[in-house]
């Protein structure tokens, strides 16, 4: 399957940027600056913790030595980077120090930044949807992680690019969930398929049928975060996945898990669990604006290695940006 450029047939090609990162707006001068500003503002808490912590230890040492290396390691732990990533970064830093590649404290931040970027750039952060629509995105995640809001944001993003978007209200666990999605659909200009009395897979099937019959470009499926037991939820998600594949072979083209960044390392355990049952193709890391735990992104590369494709920086439809390792790391270290 070729990278995301689903609508060449009917619409002019999407800017290269929409294949994931950087932001589409980044093409357009002032608006690009807007994305960077939003990123900087949204990551302020994490920046204080990650770069602020490192800077404070670096500033009190005149030379790079074992003691400072240990303090740096400790700061990385405190920044929620996660044990694997801390070890990897520390080892590389020590190695560079021994080789004489870096000699002074003021070189440390740039060194770490470059290593983290190298690691994160291994990820394919693009959305991989087929050239011939409808592209199907299934969204999963635990209760309250930010699924419905993230779907609204994704839909908004596609609508802004002149794509026709259909949402499937497959979270039939609560009636309020369907209403919430309906309100968002109206607000962002997407259509919706719902049926409160049907099961999630039946709603997804109907939506896939409608998406095909009516030439929608994108179908996004909202799912429940909770069933009566977790086993049932996983089985239900597998079933949703199977039925859309029957209607649209190869679908869902993306299975995105929404993680609540404020839960830190817990979010990573959740993703590992979901990934055992449904094959995740990407992560939407929501609520980064409200937390200092954004350092988990560095650890995710080593702990789960499922690419972060989008990050959520607020509650509004515009508050979703494509994950771009370069911009993300710059915003955290500036």
Contact residues toward Mg ion (CB under 5 A) are 147-148, 177
Give the number of other Cβ atoms within 10 Å of residue 128's Cβ. Answer: 19
Residue 149 sits at the vertex; the CA angle it makes with 283 and 8, to the nearest 5 degrees, is: 65
Kindly tell me which of 75 and 241 has the beta carbon lying closer to ligand GTP: 241
Query: Which among ligand GTP, Mg ion, none contacts residue 156 (Cβ within 5 to 8 A by kind)?
Result: none
With a CB cutoff of 8 Å and minimum separation 6, the contacts of 236 are 199, 200, 201, 223, 224, 227
Q: How far is the CB of 249 from Mg ion (least distance, A)?
A: 28
149 sits near ligand GTP (criterion: CB under 6 A)? yes
Angle at 321 between CA 201 and CA 77, to 5 degrees: 100
Neighbours of 111 (CB within 10 A): 16
Options 53, 133, 135, 146; binder of ligand GTP; rule CB under 6 A:
146
Among 314, 321, 324, 327, the residue binding ligand GTP under the rule CB under 6 A is: 314
Q: Among ligand GTP, Mg ion, none, what does residue 215 contact (CB within 5–8 Å per kind)?
A: none
**What is the rounded CA–CA span in Å between residue 15 and residue 209?**
29
Q: Which stretch binds ligand GTP (CB under 6 A): 24-32, 113-121, 186-194, 306-314?
A: 306-314
Do the Cβ atoms of 193 and 238 come closer than 8 Å?
no
Tell me the helices (H) and strands (E) count for the chain, helix number first: 13, 8
Helix (H, G, I), strand (E, B) or coil at 166: strand
264 binds, among Mg ion, ligand GTP, none (CB under 5 to 8 A by kind): none
Count residues near ligand GTP (CB under 6 A).
20
Asked if 289 interacts with ligand GTP (CB under 6 A), we say yes
- Work out which of 38, 147, 210, 253 binds ligand GTP, going by CB under 6 A: 147
* Range in contact with ligand GTP (rule: CB under 6 A) among 108-116, 243-251, 281-289, 321-329: 281-289
What the block records as the tokens of 315 is: 């509650």
| Tokens linked to 158 | 């596609």
Alpha helices in 64-192 (DSSP H): 66-78, 83-98, 108-120, 147-160, 175-188
| Nearest CA-CA partner of 251 in 312, 152, 168, 144 | 168
Q: Please report how close the Cβ of residue 179 comes to ligand GTP at its closest, in angstroms.
A: 11
Residue nearer to ligand GTP on the CB measure, 141 or 200 = 141
Binding partner of residue 164 among ligand GTP, Mg ion, none, CB cut-off 5 to 8 Å per kind = none
Q: What is the dihedral of CA 269, 275, 281, 283, to 10 degrees?
A: -20
Would you give the binding string for ligand GTP spanning residues 210-249, x where CB under 6 A is met? ---------------x------------------------
Strands (E), 194-253: 218-223
Which of 126, 163, 253, 287 is close enough to bind ligand GTP by CB under 6 A? 287
The answer to the question of residue 188 lying near ligand GTP (CB under 6 A) is: no
* Peptide bond connecting 29 to the previous residue in cis, omega within 30 degrees of 0: no
Phi, psi angles (nearest 5°) of residue 27? -65, -30
Residue pair 42/165 in contact (Cβ under 8 Å)? The answer is no
Shortest spacing between CB 152 and Mg ion, in angstroms: 10
Of the candidates 143, 179, 269, 279, which one interacts with ligand GTP according to CB under 6 A? 143
To Mg ion, the closest distance from the beta carbon of 145 in angstroms equals 9
The residue of the chain with the least Cβ separation from Mg ion equals 148
Q: Which does 43 bind (CB under 5 to 8 A by kind): Mg ion, ligand GTP, none?
A: none
Tokens 């802004």 locate to 160
Torsion of CA 308, 163, 245, 270, to 10 degrees: 20
Sole window of 80-88, 92-100, 143-151, 191-199 interacting with ligand GTP (rule: CB under 6 A): 143-151
Residue ranges in contact with ligand GTP by CB under 6 A: 141, 143-149, 171, 177, 225, 286-287, 289-290, 312-315, 319
């Amino acid at each position: 399957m070729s990278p995301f450029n689903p609508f060449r047939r009917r619409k002019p090609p999407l800017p290269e940027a929409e294949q994931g990162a950087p932001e589409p707006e980044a093409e357009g001068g002032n608006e690009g600056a807007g994305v960077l500003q939003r990123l900087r503002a949204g990551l302020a808490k994490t920046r204080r913790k990650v770069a602020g912590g490192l800077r404070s230890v670096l500033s009190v040492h005149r030379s790079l030595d074992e003691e400072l290396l240990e303090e740096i390691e400790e700061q990385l732990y405190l920044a929620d980077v996660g044990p694997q990533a801390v070890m990897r970064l520390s080892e590389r830093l020590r190695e560079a120090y021994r080789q004489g590649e870096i000699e002074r404290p003021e070189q440390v931040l740039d060194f770490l930044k470059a290593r983290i970027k190298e690691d994160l750039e291994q990820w394919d952060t693009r959305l991989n949807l087929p050239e011939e629509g409808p592209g199907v995105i299934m969204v999963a995640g635990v209760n309250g992680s930010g699924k419905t809001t993230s779907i609204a944001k994704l839909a908004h993003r596609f609508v802004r690019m002149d794509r026709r978007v259909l949402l499937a209200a497959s979270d039939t666990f609560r009636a309020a969930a369907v209403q919430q999605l309906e309100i968002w659909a109206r607000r962002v200009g997407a259509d919706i398929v719902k049926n409160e009395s049907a099961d999630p897979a039946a709603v997804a099937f109907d939506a896939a049928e409608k998406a095909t019959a009516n030439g929608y470009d994108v179908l996004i499926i909202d799912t429940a975060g909770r069933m009566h037991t977790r086993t049932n939820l996983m089985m239900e998600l597998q079933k949703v996945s199977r039925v859309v594949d029957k209607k649209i072979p190869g679908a869902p083209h993306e299975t995105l898990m929404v993680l609540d960044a404020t839960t830190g390392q817990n979010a990573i355990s959740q993703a590992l669990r979901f990934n055992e049952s449904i094959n995740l193709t990407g992560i939407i890391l929501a609520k980064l604006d409200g937390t200092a735990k954004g350092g988990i992104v560095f650890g995710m590369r080593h702990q789960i290695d499922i690419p972060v494709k989008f990050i959520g920086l607020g509650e509004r439809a515009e508050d979703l940006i494509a994950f771009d390792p370069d911009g993300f790391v710059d915003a955290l270290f500036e």
